[in-house]
A and B are shown apart, each in its own frame.
Chain A
């Protein structure tokens, strides 16, 4: 199967701290690929690397076979029109209505008439169930609605790739269910390629075609949801089952307690 995005032996560090060491990933076209891992592992960083907002120290990231770090700024901006990202906070523009937010990328990148834009925007809002909220301001929306509005904006230009950054974080069960349904439906209906970054195990496993588990700067497990559930790695099992102690220690690394208590005297 053809890969839309592929990462080859990439190393990335922020200042002194290494975030990724020699990792490789493949995102097949038309599928939903999930990237899971504990908080603070740099999952959002990975999406920014794919979007070209950050550059890897070593290795390569390819979009349709073309190297993203090697692109000129102009070419990168062209390529970005084919991808889209749903930020964790939604990142709606606070000074515009929901309608204008969704219309924003269309107005920026096309010369369509306002009449046509109106139809397109209403269609996108219909798809996420927010047509009735078109004239509301982002501050009036609930967290779940804001994320759906942002999703409508993300699909406004019919991209090939959507990257979801923690789409389930901080959502109540109902809006979580709505988002899960939307991601699934959009992926099937528009034949999108999706990358979902999340640590909500249940939801991710229900929509993903393929799962990567990241921990400790590298890929610790990969496979279809069924394979991942049966994975032999202790780390993967600890993560999936949410055990408090395991390869990732409950205690932050320190000296032994006995030693520290005695020292006080």
Chain B
């Protein structure tokens, strides 16, 4: 009996959490938008979540492109098909690794920082104090961060993929000796702008939305103590990573599965 009660309790808890998350989203994005007033705040947050994540994105992109080229080359060279290195690297990055790895790194770098920052604002009564000053914290604190995340992550993913393709070029062409012309031309023949580049961007926008939403909600909903904030930060990284990987499967099946 206690067991069923446990299931019931956690289901009700989850439903209530989802409701609060939906309310947060509605309150910050849908109701009473003030884009003009929020624009400078959003720029500032793009700096925090986007520009400050740039270094880790560029370094990871370069290394992943290089490793991809190295691994693909050892397999392809057995079949004399090393000119397929270009499309191999480009398609893996554009369709999968660019959006997914960027989202995972973003969750770890920017998402956890967002949760901790908002949680700390809650713990130090800054959110309450905004509310008492008749300023809606959803509009003032949450909305700019949500927008900044949604805008920044697709841009980071584009940079990640590009750097990765250049990293693949560095290893494949400059080190392993694949012909530079065929690296690019076979890639050009295989990659389609709409099917591959834009689908990757769409994936990235979806991930951006989900990861940022989880991050700001976990911060806003955190128990305002040091333990609570620590827990919320961990949950942000775990939940958003799982959400990204799960959604990636669904999106991949929708976009590329029917061909």
Contact = CB atoms under 8 A, between A and B. Distances in A.
Interface of A: 48, 51, 53, 77-78, 80-81, 83-85, 87-89, 91-94, 104-105, 108-109
Given A87-B129, A108-B135, 12 more contacts: A48-B128, A51-B132, A83-B132, A87-B125, A87-B128, A88-B125, A89-B124, A92-B126, A94-B121, A94-B124, A105-B135, A108-B133
Contacts of A105: 133, 135
A157 B234 CA distance: 40
A91 B129 contact: yes
Given A91-B124, A94-B124, A109 B134 contact: yes
B131 interface: yes
B44 to A, nearest CB: 9
Contacts of A92: 126
Contacts of B133: 80, 84, 104-105, 108
Contacts of B131: 51, 53, 80
Contacts of A87: 125, 128-129
Interface in B123-146: 124-126, 128-129, 131-136
Contacts of B128: 48, 53, 87, 91
B126 A94 contact: yes
A51 B127 CA distance: 14
Contacts, number: 42
- Chain B, interface size category, equals 10 to 19
Nearest to B132: A85
A161 B8 CA distance: 45
Contacts of B135: 105, 108
Nearest to B127: A91
Interface in B107-135: 121, 124-126, 128-129, 131-135
A104 B135 CA distance: 10
A80 B124 contact: no
Contacts of A108: 133-135
Given A87-B125, A94-B126, A81 B132 contact: no
Contact of A84 (B125, B132, B136): B132
Contacts of B129: 85, 87, 91
Contacts of A91: 124-126, 128-129
A87 to B, nearest CB: 4
B125 A78 contact: no
The 6 closest A-B pairs by CB, nearest first: A91-B129, A80-B134, A91-B125, A87-B125, A77-B134, A85-B132
Contacts of A93: 126
A51 B134 CA distance: 10
A143 to B, nearest CB: 13
B111 to A, nearest CB: 19
Nearest to A87: B125
A92 to B, nearest CB: 8
A81 B134 CA distance: 6
26 contacts: A51-B131, A53-B128, A77-B134, A77-B136, A78-B134, A80-B131, A80-B132, A80-B133, A81-B134, A83-B132, A84-B132, A84-B133, A85-B129, A87-B125, A87-B128, A89-B124, A89-B125, A91-B125, A91-B129, A93-B126, A94-B121, A94-B124, A94-B126, A104-B133, A108-B134, A108-B135
A160 to B, nearest CB: 14
B32 to A, nearest CB: 10
A84 B135 CA distance: 12
B239 to A, nearest CB: 25
Contacts of A81: 134
Nearest to B31: A73
A92 B120 CA distance: 12
Contacts of A104: 133
A92 B128 CA distance: 11
A83 B128 CA distance: 14
B39 to A, nearest CB: 15
A94 B125 CA distance: 11
A98 B255 CA distance: 52
